[in-house]
Structure 1
Amino acid sequence: MDKIVKGALQFMQEGFNEHKNLFQNLKEEQNPHTMFIGCADSRVIPNLITSTLPGELFVIRNIANIVPPYRIKDEYLASTAGIEYALYSLNVENIIICGHSNCGGCKDLTQEQEIMLPNVKKWLSLLDNIKKHVDLQLSINNLQEQKNLRAWMIEKANIVNSYNNLLGYPEVQNRILQNKLKVKAWYFLIETGEIYEYCPIDGHFKIIKEQE
């Protein structure tokens, strides 16, 4: 905690001044151009990997960067509510879903963790069908030997699933058809800093490049 407090003090004394005018312009309202849906993993910093400033990104982070299927229910729907707010209240022009390598949320929980983390288990049950599908593609007898490949496949399949779920949100569909919204799905490779973009046409992830 001491490190965090010292960091906050340093920001107030030094860091804030670097963007003082920017924060003055942002004091009344935000007007982000992009919504970033990412994992809560501490190694994935949206503004850092997109080189953006305060006010540019509206960020939702959860375990394993999951976008649940669209639904309206009498319960607390944090991620769905955030997407709704970004579209209707902020009118974002872009949505990026960003997964990453070595994602803890995409790995299987141990029995001990399942007992300790019931809410995490429930949330990650959204990945059950993805894991079953991946396991069918791999040799069941050699799953342990293929655990790294399995994790890599689940991470990417989860991104694609979240991308497809997002396209199922009615207002997302409407805005895409009206050319008012672009949706991208990214895979961030932590160890190299590379970012790959999902191509829905051929189903592959390709390293991002300058937009044409």
Structure 2
Amino acid sequence: MTSTFLPSPPSKILSDLLNRNEKWTEANSGLFLQETQSPKVLWIGCADSRVPESVITNFEPGMIFTHRNIANQFHADDDNAISVLIYAVENPKMRVDHIIVVGHTRCGGVEACCKAAQADDSPPANALQRWLAPLTEFARNNGLGGDLSALLEANVRMQVDNVLKSEVLEREWGIRDVHVHG
């Protein structure tokens, strides 16, 4: 197997992506001339391609700082999520005031947890199952394996609780108010 930085000739999808990026760059040429970004919101959401935060909220680029992953998880031992939180709330040029944990209907990650919670309890077989293990265990222990809607809502509550328990927010609350929403 070989790999190159850009395929030659570029595929149709890649050509379309690059053309769209060029048009976007032209239309937003002043965006990166600003010294820094200054969003007031940190959005913790799902990586699902159907729910891009700036599109579904109709916000302009630069208004929402974003962390997205499978099933909008916020794990206390996830250096990536903690790093985003630190950067968003502690960086003097950012200092977001609101953290929003957002779930969505028909979430494939939460749906996978529902199915796994109904199956025999076995160790996670891959990275995705390890990532979703806390939610799967929660679903299993709370009888939510058969109720996707209830698990979607419970997941948002659980991730909000995880954010609220972070050392990052405990430190920041000693200085100023930061609001967490789900």
Query: TM-score, normalized by length of structure 1?
Result: 0.67
**Cα deviations by residue, 1:121-180 (Å, 9 ceiling, x for unpaired):** 111111133202441xx7xxxx7xxx4xx1111111010000111111133245457653
The residue type equivalent to 2:29 in the other structure is K
2:129 to 121, 143, 162: 121
**Cα deviations by residue, 1:57-109 (Å, 9 ceiling, x for unpaired):** 2111111101113x5xxxx6211221122121231111111111111111236
| Structure 1 residues 10 and 162: CA distance shift in structure 2, 3 A | closer
**Aligned match of 1:5:** 15
Instruction: Find runs of 4+ consecutive structure 1 residues off by over 3 angstroms.
Output: 108-111, 114-117, 173-179
**Cα deviations by residue, 1:15-64 (Å, 9 ceiling, x for unpaired):** 32322223322xx4322221110111111101111221221221111111
Q: Do 2:41 and 2:99's aligned partners in 1 also have CA atoms closer than 8 Å? A: yes
Aligned length: 164
2:40 to 33, 44, 49: 33
Q: Which moved more, 1:78-87 or 1:3-12?
A: 3-12
SS where residue 95 of structure 1 aligns? strand
The residue type equivalent to 1:184 in the other structure is H
1:131 to 134, 139, 155: 139
**Aligned match of 2:89:** 87
Q: Alpha carbon RMSD of aligned pairs, Å?
A: 2.7
Q: Do 2:45 and 2:72's aligned partners in 1 also have CA atoms closer than 8 Å? A: yes
Aligned pairs for 1:96-107 (under 5 A) are: 96-107=100-111
Q: Do 2:71 and 2:107's aligned partners in 1 also have CA atoms closer than 8 Å? A: yes
Aligned pairs for 1:33-52 (under 5 A) are: 33-52=40-59
Q: Do 2:65 and 2:88's aligned partners in 1 also have CA atoms closer than 8 Å? A: yes
Query: TM-score, normalized by length of structure 2?
Result: 0.76
Q: Do 2:124 and 2:133's aligned partners in 1 also have CA atoms closer than 8 Å? A: no
The residue type equivalent to 2:13 in the other structure is K
| Cα distance in 1 between the residues matched to 2:41 and 2:162 | 18
